[in-house]
Amino acid sequence: MGTKAQLYIERHRIGSDGHGVRTLVTFTGCPLDCKYCLNENLKRETSDGRWYTPRELLDELSIDNYYILASGGGITFGGGEPLLRGEFIREFCELCNKEKGWSINIETCLNVPLYDIEQVAPFVDTFIVDIKDLNPDIYSRYTQGSVNIVYANLDYLKDVAMKDHGCSVIVRIPTIPGFNTKEDIDKSVEIMNDRYEGRFSLDFFEYYTDKKDVPEADGKKICRILKTIRRGLIEENGLSIVQPRCTHKGNCTGTCPACESELTAINQALGDDGDYYVASRKVEKYGGDLLFGALNPRYHITMGLPQVLGNMNIVEPTYPEE
């Protein structure tokens, strides 16, 4: 398998791209030119993105295997437009199915050739579709593209992918400042209910028009969830690894060298054969409302930017003293 793609990887996404702890893998390249795109750097190949084969990507993402398994998480492909690299995703999923069994989500504008959807549909758990607006004039003015291909591809998801492959579809209907109104959104909903028979889940949100308005992630909450999983793995598998109490002040990214060192020690001790039932039950108790919701509908979560955790009540676990 010699397929390669330029990718950016964002680990430990929670509450924005699907169930559980997820890794967001974003591709470069997009068929649209949306006015409020917050990922301008992903519209075309960049000078700093790393190129991966499917095997190289799977090997790199495997560091978070137990986070993913214990939380019911997985991999979400975004962009740019990930379905432009359908061959790469298919090859990755074939490897992943054999070796990991992680769930696969795709965040897409769906404005791509049907073939690219057909070759990945058997492997995808959830398509998360940002339809912009289904009014042809609004769609064209906002994206510089045609909505007709989106209609056709939604037909395929309803009539073929959902029936033959069992995937689910979440259609995201945005408020686009200066482009659509509540009446326009209501019309898109009407089309969803009529033409698509209400088969898709709908999610409503509002576009940010400037990157500086995107809320920052609460890294401490991410840290607690990840630490809870590691704690469960240590307990259930009888590992002699003592978790230090975190003394970091202020916000953080959700992980640090000490956390990564502990995760590496767990992975080395367990390989792919560790038990994670206790870790799963613990994290469900401490962060279940967030981890096991499909999407956080209150925010526009732009692919490649920090996720928003919102208000989440986490019961602080008791950790051993150093």
For the chain, state the CA radius of gyration: 20
Tally: H helices and E strands in the chain: 10, 8
Question: What's the pLDDT band for 21 if we cut at 50, 70, 90?
Answer: very high
Q: What does the mean pLDDT of the chain come to? A: 85
The domains found in the chain, sorted by start residue, are 5-213 (3.20.20.70), 219-291 (no CATH)
- What's residue 291's pLDDT? 65
Confidence check: pLDDT of 254 > 70: yes
Closest to 307 measured CA to CA, from 10, 7, 9, 8: 10
- Between 292 and 252, whose confidence is greater? 252
Q: How far apart are CA 48 and CA 278, in angstroms?
A: 40
Q: Predicted confidence band at 307 (pLDDT cuts at 50, 70, 90)?
A: very low
Does the pLDDT at position 308 exceed 90?
no
Separation of alpha carbons 107 and 130, rounded Å: 8
CA-closest candidate to residue 103, choices 75, 131, 122, 142: 75
Per-residue pLDDT reduced to its tens digit, 86-136: 999 999 999 999 899 899 999 999 999 999 999 999 999 999 999 999 999
SS3 labels along 288-310: HHHHCCCCCCCCCCCCCCCCCCC
Residue 300 near residue 9, CB atoms below 8 Å: no
What would the mean pLDDT of 273-293 be, rounded to a whole number?
Answer: 78
Residue 265 binned pLDDT confidence (cut-offs 50, 70, 90): very high
Rounded Cα distance between 314 and 288, Å, is: 9
What is the reported pLDDT for 221? 85
* Lowest mean pLDDT, pick from 87-96, 156-165, 251-260: 251-260
- Considering only 95-99, 169-173, 308-312, which range has the smallest mean pLDDT? 308-312
pLDDT in the model for residue 283:
84
pLDDT-wise least confident of 111-120, 189-198, 298-307? 298-307
The answer to whether the predicted template modeling score (pTM) of the entire model surpasses 0.85 is yes
